[in-house]
Structure 1
Amino acid sequence: MSKIILMVLGLMVSSIVFSKDNNLQKFYVGTYTKEGAEGIYYCSLNTNTGEIRLERTFKAVDNPSFLVLAPDKKYLYSVSEIATMPGGKVGGVSAYRVDEKGDLHFLNKQSSKGDNPCHVDVSSDGKYVVVSNYSSGTVSLYPVNEDGSLGESSTVIQNEGSGPDKSRQGEPHAHSAKFSPFSNVVFNADLGTDQLNIFQLEDRQLKQSGQKFAKLASGAGPRHFEFHPNGEVIYVINELNSTVSVLRKKSGEWKVEQEISSLPAGFKGESYCADIHISNDGKYLYGSNRGHNSIAVFEVDGNDQSLKMVETVSVEGNWPRNFGISPDGNWLLAANQRSGNITAFKINRQDGSIQFSGQEIQLPSPVCIEFD
Structure 2
Amino acid sequence: MVDQSTALPVLSLWCGGYTSPTGTAPGISALGRAPGAAEPASVTAVVAGSPSFMAAHPTLSLIYAVLEVDGTVQAFRRVAETALEPIGAEWPAGPAACHVFVDPEGRFLVVTCWGDGAVLFYELDADGVIVSRQSAAAATDPYPGADRQSRAHATALLPDGRILTTDLGFDILRVWRVEPTGSATAGTGLILTQELPLGAGTGPRHLTVHPSGHVYVVTEYSIEAIVIGQDSDGILDVRGRIPATIAGAQSTDSAAEISLNEAGTRVYVTVRGSNRLSTLEVQNEGARLELIGDVDCGGNWPRHHLQLGEWLFVANQLSNEVSVFSLDPSSGLPSSPVGSIPVGSPSCLIPRRPQ
TM range (shorter): 0.7 to 0.9
- Higher Cα radius of gyration: 1
Aligned twin of 2:13:
27
Moved more, 52-61 or 35-44: 52-61
CA distance in 2, matches of 1:112, 1:48: 43
- The corresponding residue for 1:177 is 155
Partners of 1:39 and 1:63 within 8 A in 2: yes
Which residue of 148, 152, 171 corresponds with 1:194?
171
Match of 1:94, as an amino acid?
Q
In structure 1, distance between residues paired with 2:36 and 2:220: 34
Is 1:295 equivalent to 2:267 in the alignment? no
Letter in 2 for 1:26: S
1:276 Cα offset (Å): 0.7
Q: RMSD in angstroms over aligned alpha carbons?
A: 2.4
Match of residue 28, structure 2, among 14, 27, 40: 40
User: 1:140, 1:156 within 8 Å by CA — same for their partners in 2?
Assistant: yes
Query: What is the DSSP-based 3-state SS (H/G/I as helix, E as strand, rest coil) of the residue aligned with 1:292?
Result: coil
Cα deviations by residue, 1:92-142 (Å, 9 ceiling, x for unpaired): 100011246242121023434311100001001011111001111001111
Quote the residue 1:341 is aligned against: 321
2:197 aligned with 1:208, yes or no? no
Residue number in structure 2 paired with 1:237: 218
Per the alignment, do residues 148 and 304 of structure 1 end up closer, same or farther by CA in structure 2, a change over 3 Å counting? closer
Secondary structure of the residue aligned to 2:133 is coil
The Cα shift of 1:356 comes to 2.5
Superposition deviation, residue 265 in structure 1: 3.8
Give the Cα separation in 2 of the matches to 1:109 and 1:52: 37
Aligned-partner SS, 2:130? coil
Instruction: Check if 1:309 corresponds to 2:291.
Output: yes
Please say if residues 73 and 93 of structure 2, whose CA atoms lie closer than 8 Å, have aligned partners that are also in contact: no
Contact 1:195–1:215 (CA under 8 A) maintained in structure 2:
yes
Distance 1:27 1:233, change over 3 A: same
3-state SS in 2 of match to 1:303? helix
Which stretch shows the higher mean deviation, 340-349 or 262-271? Answer: 262-271
- Bigger shift: residues 284-293 or 60-69: 60-69
Match of 1:219 among 201, 212, 215: 201
Mapping of 1:350-361 within 5 angstroms?
Answer: 350-361=330-341
Identity %: 26
Give the alignment partner of residue 282 of structure 1, picking from 264, 270, 279: 264
Contact 2:11 2:34 in 1 (8 A): yes
- TM superposition shift of 1:364: 1.4
Contact 2:14/2:29 (CA < 8 Å) preserved in 1?
A: yes
Alignment of 1:104-183 (within 5 A): 104-161=84-141, 163=143, 170-180=148-158, 182-183=159-160
Question: How many residues end up aligned between the 2 structures?
Answer: 336
1 CA distance for matches of 2:131 and 2:39?
36
The one-letter code of the counterpart of 1:354 is P
TM-score, normalization: structure 2?
A: 0.88
Checking the alignment, whether the CA contact within 8 Å between 1:185 and 1:200 is kept in structure 2 is yes
More helix by share: 1
Q: Where does structure 2 lack aligned partners over 5 or more consecutive residues?
A: 1-5, 182-187
